Structure 1
Amino acid sequence: MTAPLTAELRPRASRRSRRTIATASATALLATMFSASAGVAFAAELPDTYIDTASTVWSYSDNDTDPAAGSDDRLSWTTGDFDDAAWKSATGTFGAKRGEAEGIGANFPITTLLNQYVDGEAPPNVRTFHFRTDVTVTADELSELNGLSGTVTYDDAIQIFVNGTQVAGFVDDKVDAAPEAERNLMYAGSSNGSPLTSTFTVPTDVLQAGENTVAVALYQDRDTSSDIYFDMSELAPLVTPEHASFDNLVMSIGSDESSRNLTWYTDVDEAQYVQYAVAPASGAEFPADSATTVDAAGGETTSGEQNRRATLDGLSENSTYAYRVGSDALGWSDVQMFSTADFTGDYNFLFFGDPQIGASGNVASDKAGWQDTLDVALEQFPQSEMLFSAGDQVNTASSENEYDAYLSPKQMQQIPTVPVIGNHDVGSKAYEQHYTTPNLDSEAGTALSDSSSGGDYWFSFKGVLYMVINSNNPDINAHEQFLRDVVAEHGADARWSVVAFHHSIYSVAAHVNDSNIISMRNELPTLISDLGVDLVLQGHDHSYTRSYLINDGELANPDETAASNDVVAGEGDVLYVTANSASGSKYYDVTAPDAWYASVINQEKVRNYTNIEVTDDAITITTYRSEQSVARAAVNSVVDEVTLTREDTVAPQLTVPTSGEVEQGSDFDPMAGVSATDVRDGDLTDAVMVNGSVDTATLGTYSLEYSVADAAGNTQTATREVTVVAAEVPGTGPGAEPGDDAEDDAGSAPGSSGDSASGELPYTGAEALPWLVAAGLLVMLGVGLAVTAAVRRRRLNA
């Protein structure tokens, strides 16, 4: 049956416990129906999980020693042959905070206290902790499995092994870069703040029937780190589901207003598609027979799942579409809806600062704040055409739990998002695996490592050019070439140009004096002004700042009024806006209240969003509270509002007819065919001034000068020459026919002098010439006859 239309995704199926097995009661029932002698094979009864926090006993070493010391094989301690009898043993969770079994937070309880310090009392820390446990997988179970799905929480870095083979590593770049002999005992990772949660997959080819050894290396990031934490809460069976899952479905911006990109995660590596069509009437079935079907590309993700992505092209304006993802073989997602508007003209979009789901340590709370901000903003501005994020969508680049929360709002499947890559997004491939961005140049903002994300991209939307760069990459030269190439190819067609990147160079809070910020502040503004950019959108500093107009890194106008609601930009003048948190997950206090570039500063530690209205003549940027402030300012009350216009330096367009002729005595209108228009002021034809005149009674050439001025005083002039010519005599012009009688037309006989005042040409006698010739011939003939007669008479007389 064809799926009915609905606005929601189906409830998310657990990635960790999808099984196509019978329950115990069903198995018992089947056993009574068929005897063992009938040779019927029954599916193995798979457990919910092979590892859990409460019951799994781990052997562990926390004495700052290398468990493989003396062995030629660094990973000997990760195999089943290793003797860990001398190690401690306990159930999880494991951890310490300054040597104590508490203090990390309510979400991270410690059941077993680890020996945090080498001497047991004070730094330096134990560098690496080692854990081992065994899980039993029967041959029947192994035949059913497509792998195992694990969930692990850790601080600071971790590597996971099964039967001597590494199956996962998180925040472990330093480990991979270290000499082999040092990898069992070293500092690694980065200061994560709260412990991180990640998922991983154990492929079946590393499993064996019987005992399987799971080993973990847990790394402290430095000798003064305050805490350490480890909990493997799940290692669940993975089997082929009856229906594939379609998770984290997100719509991102296309290359222009007529396209959209879709990306989603799935649990099977099978061909999948997008089907889309103009939405039928409410309640009708999805029109599968008439839908456009697009193949989806993709591959395995860093979290052990599959992603799929596809582009919807050739959309029509002012249309509502229905779409679904999946396949006939795997099933289809619930149907989603989205709409397009006019492809030209005015529009608005919403700009959000650093949702950073998980930054508070409470993913559920951050998720709720993010959802509420979207709801508030779209209730106020339901026609918004983009959801533009300033970066740091999640707190931990590899955390699928945080991505689940960030992408959960239904609006993420219905309105195209524009994701900027932040410093919390860059450390994993998850960012580029979750989003499909248009015109991506992975070399311009290249990823910083093989395990991180990167790239610069651009798109055009209703005549506005948007360029998004990866400011995590410090290679300004590469960014410059990308920006210059895009502007050279598309800038002339853009009514406005907007640049977005994460690391604000004109903010006033915690990051204002970071070395990378200072470096970008010294290099980027001159480039941005030179490119003719109008607006720069930024995040990172979790407080609101709106700059004065800035040109080449300096105040464009030292006399500009602070907090002005209207700013007029001259050539090279740029407005910079830094957004506050959209989810409320984290705020930074203002540390530079007297920054020379800051026109407006606001930090009330309440959630914000910004509505940006775009017209031909102006961009209006209004920032609102999406929750009530401590000062009792209400939801949707204004934090700041500014309208950006350009200084009008464009002269009107003046159209004047080319030089021409007018007949003597006829009427002449000097404004016939004359028009004037201005990009801002519209039709200025009535304002055109004419200097000079044409006397149609007098033959000659006359010069007219036209001029027009717009409201800003820009003028345009043009010159025109008009020649007054004598009127043509009827019947004598190029169109006269043979036999036309000039006498009848003029009312005078040949030989008359004519009347110049009547417009006729003066008479010249040329009309009498044929008569004179004829008369001469007759005279000559008469003379000839007379001579002949005289000769005859003489002959007769003789």
Structure 2
Amino acid sequence: MLSVAVTLALLLGVFTGASNFSPRALAENAEPAVKKIVPTFTGDPRTEKGFTWYTNLDSERSDLQLVKKTGRSGKKPDFKKARTFNGTSYVSSNDSGERVHKVNAKGLKADTAYFYRVGDAKRNIWSKVGTVKTAPKKNGAFTFLELTDPQAKTEDEGKLAADTFNKASATVKHYDFMTVTGDIVDNGVVEDQWDWLINNSRSVWGDTTVVPAAGNHESENDAFIDHFNLKPATINQDTTTGAYYSFNYSNTHFVVLNTNEDSEQYRDFTPDQVKWMAADIKKAKANGAKWTVVLMHKGPYTTSNHATDSDIIGQNGVRNQIAPLIGKLGVDLVIQGHDHIYARTLPINKRNEATHPTTITEWLNGEKIDYAVKPNGAIYYIPATAGPKVYKKNTDPVLGDAFYSKFARAEENHALKYGLDPSDPTRPVRGAIQNFSSVTIDKNKLSVVVYEIDRIKGTDPYIIDQFGIIK
């Protein structure tokens, strides 16, 4: 086992060593005039797209140009023929020296790739050219990339987390959008932390459509909603702590929850949000949605520190109040964050019981994958962390064998083999292990592939788990 000192030295060498900073790399990492560009689903994913970006205060215009990506346009789009959209701007809630820009593009063509740039047409200040794609008009197979909890608290850790996004994108390659289930930064009101992550992986954040869920670390001062152009589910929704919303993509209905709300009846939720979720999923199913996927930060079924938090295990907590409703509503997959460890459950039904469906074994990526056939209940999983902070497995007796019997995977954190964090010996060493996953949904099959990055061994991302559902 490597010592903690050696481990930290290796990690710092990877991300701060002089060999990484060639003149080209310095230019690539220079502060751009137009930065933190994030496309999102805003309205109908087939015909609409939202964009958010940041500039200094002098750039007041919010201009977006889109050009269809065709064989003739190649890599050099002609923006003289672009469709132009204008939006609004305001001073950042976090940084009085920065301006937030938001634009909605409507009337786009389904299943179409576009080149885009954003900026200030009057001042001729533009971002680098990015690409986005609208959702298909007809149902078909699609893949999305999932990462959670990058949560970097230093610039070096921000670069490490950004590198996880870069490696995830390079590994999965052909994905249609990216989900991020919270704690995108360590402190949501520290604007530098957003720069460290998004600007160092801007070819990922800017060249896909991002589906974010609010984490507890960006729960104040509009820190979440400032960075993402979203369409909240209800008109009068308070977005100070985050936002909840939903959308359809192909044959799947996605529900993104905000676990930063709170009430006497529901910890981490308000009655309005819970009522909306139930009505929204029922409506989607009535309209023909084949699959239902829920994204949430504070999940009911994880295996580390937060598994015994009062807002999870209390009588009005997420496990006792929200999980049974998810089972009752016929949700297929719940993707969580918050707990910085990898785990997944068996299907959990409306009585919070684990069920044992028939399984079919197939081969995917040269490895076996077990598919649960028409399971009674939702499968919950947490893809560990895309960033530096990791947790140990929770051994509190209050959980016990009955709780862990509900899990198909619930091992110790893989980072623990490299020792403990010297600043917090209750946790494994920071930065050694990161994870991400891909989810592919076809007509009757859902497949999840979970990857790991070992910074100490320095290997390419490798698969640690695969599972799926057939119905």
TM-score range, shorter chain: 0.7 to 0.9
The aligned residue for residue 73 of structure 2 is: 281
Encode CA deviations 1:341-400: one digit per residue, 9 max, x unaligned: 744300111111211121xxx322x22222322232222221111111110000001011
The aligned residue for residue 391 of structure 2 is: 588
The aligned residue for residue 778 of structure 1 is: none
Is 1:637 aligned to 2:462, yes or no? yes
Q: Distance in 2 between matches of 1:259 and 1:11?
A: 31
SS at match of 1:397: coil
5+ residue gaps in structure 1? 1-7, 14-244, 647-798
- How many Å apart are 1:441 and its aligned residue? 3.0
Matching of residues 513-532 of structure 1 within 5 Å? 513-518=308-313, 519-532=317-330
The aligned residue for residue 345 of structure 1 is: 140
- How many Å apart are 1:582 and its aligned residue? 0.8
- How many Å apart are 1:439 and its aligned residue? 4.2
CA 1:376–1:505 in 2, change beyond 3 Å: closer, same or farther?
A: same
Tell me, yes or no, if the aligned pair for 1:269 and 1:299 is still in contact at 8 Å.
no
Deviates more, 1:479-488 or 1:339-348: 339-348
Whichever structure has more helix as a proportion of its residues is: 2
5+ residue gaps in structure 2? 1-26, 360-367, 416-432
The aligned residue for residue 491 of structure 1 is: 285
Matching of residues 694-713 of structure 1 within 5 Å? none
- How many Å apart are 1:636 and its aligned residue? 2.9
- How many Å apart are 1:301 and its aligned residue? 1.6
Matching of residues 46-57 of structure 1 within 5 Å? none
Q: Distance in 2 between matches of 1:257 and 1:357?
A: 34
Q: Distance in 2 between matches of 1:507 and 1:570?
A: 20
- How many Å apart are 1:558 and its aligned residue? 5.5
Matching of residues 99-248 of structure 1 within 5 Å? 245-248=33-36
Tell me, yes or no, if the aligned pair for 2:63 and 2:121 is still in contact at 8 Å.
no
Tell me, yes or no, if the aligned pair for 2:88 and 2:101 is still in contact at 8 Å.
yes
* Structure 2 letter corresponding to 1:598: F
SS at match of 1:551: coil
- How many Å apart are 1:556 and its aligned residue? 4.1
The aligned residue for residue 226 of structure 2 is: 433
Q: Distance in 1 between matches of 2:99 and 2:464?
A: 42
Encode CA deviations 1:741-797: one digit per residue, 9 max, x unaligned: xxxxxxxxxxxxxxxxxxxxxxxxxxxxxxxxxxxxxxxxxxxxxxxxxxxxxxxxx
* Structure 2 letter corresponding to 1:264: W
Q: Distance in 2 between matches of 1:295 and 1:315?
A: 15
Match of 1:604 among 414, 430, 447: 414
Tell me, yes or no, if the aligned pair for 1:548 and 1:599 is still in contact at 8 Å.
yes
* Structure 2 letter corresponding to 1:287: F
CA 1:485–1:9 in 2, change beyond 3 Å: closer, same or farther?
A: farther
Encode CA deviations 1:619-678: one digit per residue, 9 max, x unaligned: 1111011335x7x695332211111123xxxxxxxxxxxxxxxxxxxxxxxxxxxxxxxx
CA 1:412–1:558 in 2, change beyond 3 Å: closer, same or farther?
A: closer
- Structure 1 or 2, whichever has the larger Rg, is 1
RMSD, aligned α-carbons: 2.6
Match of 1:294 among 81, 85, 96: 85
CA 1:548–1:326 in 2, change beyond 3 Å: closer, same or farther?
A: same
TM-score of the superposition, structure 1-length normalised? 0.47
* Structure 2 letter corresponding to 1:620: S
- How many Å apart are 1:527 and its aligned residue? 1.1
Tell me, yes or no, if the aligned pair for 2:357 and 2:375 is still in contact at 8 Å.
no
Matching of residues 233-632 of structure 1 within 5 Å? 245-255=33-43, 256-267=45-56, 268=58, 270-279=60-69, 281-282=73-74, 284=76, 286-288=78-80, 290-302=81-93, 303-304=95-96, 305-340=98-133, 342-343=136-137, 344-358=139-153, 362-364=154-156, 366-408=157-199, 409=201, 410-441=203-234, 443=236, 446-447=238-239, 452-475=240-263, 476=266, 477-492=271-286, 493-518=288-313, 519-557=317-355, 565-571=370-376, 573-583=377-387, 585-592=388-395, 594=401, 595-602=404-411, 603-605=413-415, 606-627=433-454
Tell me, yes or no, if the aligned pair for 1:257 and 1:462 is still in contact at 8 Å.
no
CA 1:488–1:472 in 2, change beyond 3 Å: closer, same or farther?
A: same
- How many Å apart are 1:437 and its aligned residue? 1.5
Q: Distance in 2 between matches of 1:554 and 1:321?
A: 44
Tell me, yes or no, if the aligned pair for 2:177 and 2:211 is still in contact at 8 Å.
yes
Q: Distance in 1 between matches of 2:383 and 2:142?
A: 20
Q: Distance in 1 between matches of 2:188 and 2:131?
A: 28
CA 1:407–1:436 in 2, change beyond 3 Å: closer, same or farther?
A: same
Higher relative contact order (CA 8 A, sep 6+): 2
- How many Å apart are 1:314 and its aligned residue? 3.1
Tell me, yes or no, if the aligned pair for 2:247 and 2:253 is still in contact at 8 Å.
yes
SS at match of 2:466: strand
Q: Distance in 1 between matches of 2:195 and 2:458?
A: 32
Q: Distance in 2 between matches of 1:535 and 1:285?
A: 39
* Structure 1 letter corresponding to 2:407: A
- How many Å apart are 1:543 and its aligned residue? 0.2
* Structure 2 letter corresponding to 1:350: L
Tell me, yes or no, if the aligned pair for 1:396 and 1:425 is still in contact at 8 Å.
yes
- How many Å apart are 1:415 and its aligned residue? 0.5
Q: Distance in 1 between matches of 2:449 and 2:334?
A: 15
SS at match of 1:388: strand
TM-score of the superposition, structure 2-length normalised? 0.77
- How many Å apart are 1:460 and its aligned residue? 1.0
Encode CA deviations 1:306-362: one digit per residue, 9 max, x unaligned: 21111223333453322122233222313423143744300111111211121xxx3
Q: Distance in 2 between matches of 1:524 and 1:482?
A: 13
